[in-house]
Amino acid sequence: MIGEARARILGEIGPDVTLVAASKRQPDRRIEAILSAGQRVFGENRVQEAETRWGPRKASLTGLELRLIGPLQTNKAEAAVRLFDVIETLDRPKLLKALVAAVERTGVPPPDLLIQVNTGEEPQKAGVTVAELANLVALTREMWPGRLVGLMCIPPVEEPAGPHFALLRQLAEAHGLSQLSMGMSADYALAARLGATHVRVGSGLFGAREALPPATA
C-alpha cells in the first residue's frame, strides 16, 4: 500500500523531483515497508526521534539520505551534524556558527544546508524573513563556502501555497541556489510544477501519523 502511494507520487512529480519521505511519528512497520519499496531519502523533524529511527539502520542502508526538516536548537547541533546529510532549516547566524563549530569539533563531513524562509512572515514560524535572507546567504557563504545549496519554505496553512512557492523560487534564482524544498501532502504536485526540486510528503505517503508523544515539561 505504501509502495503504491509512493509510485503514484513519484509519477506525479516526475523524475526531476526528489521525494523526501517525511517520516515523523510513523510506526516502524511503515518505515520498513517504504524502505522495501526502495525509498532512501527521508525528512525528519526532531533530532532525537531521528536518532532512534535511523541510528540502528544507518550503517546497513546504502544510499540513505537524511534531511532535517524541523527547527534545530543550537545545543543539538553536534547530534544533528553526526546524523544528517542535509539540514534544511538554517534560519539564524547563531545556528550557523553552532553547526560550523560542531563539524570542526567532530570531524564529520559537513552537511549541505538550505535556508528556511518564512515566506508568510508568520510570527510563530521558524525561518528568516525575506528581508533577512540576503544577509544570511552572504554569511553562510563566507563562513562555510560551498555548503549552501538551496531554500525551503512551509507556506501558511490558510493561504494558497502557489504564491509562496513562486516567491521561494524567485529568491533561489536571485541568490543562485539550485535546491528548492517545497510542497507537502496537500500541494506537492503544485510545488513540483512551480519548480520544487524536493517535495516533503508525510501523511499522503505513509497514512496518518501517530499521536504526539506526551509533552516533556
Ligand X SMILES: *Cc1c(COP(=O)(O)O)cnc(C)c1O
Q: Which is nearer to ligand X, 22 or 77 (CB)?
A: 22
Shortest spacing between CB 25 and ligand X, in angstroms: 8
Residue nearest to ligand X (CB): 202
- The Cα 50–Cα 5 span in angstroms is 23
Q: Are 197 and 178 in contact (CB under 8 A)?
A: yes
**Count of C-beta atoms within a 10 Å radius of residue 213:** 9
With cell 546524523, the residue in question is 83
Q: Which is nearer to ligand X, 22 or 196 (CB)?
A: 22
Q: Are 34 and 3 in contact (CB under 8 A)?
A: yes
Q: Which is nearer to ligand X, 62 or 124 (CB)?
A: 124
Positions that interact with ligand X (CB under 6 A): 22, 24, 45, 69-70, 154, 184-185, 200-204
Shortest spacing between CB 69 and ligand X, in angstroms: 4
Shortest spacing between CB 142 and ligand X, in angstroms: 27
Q: Which is nearer to ligand X, 126 or 139 (CB)?
A: 126
Shortest spacing between CB 23 and ligand X, in angstroms: 9
Q: Are 199 and 17 in contact (CB under 8 A)?
A: yes
Shortest spacing between CB 40 and ligand X, in angstroms: 17
Q: Which is nearer to ligand X, 99 or 152 (CB)?
A: 152
Q: Are 80 and 72 in contact (CB under 8 A)?
A: yes
* 196 Ramachandran zone, left/alpha/beta (phi>0; psi -120 to 50): beta
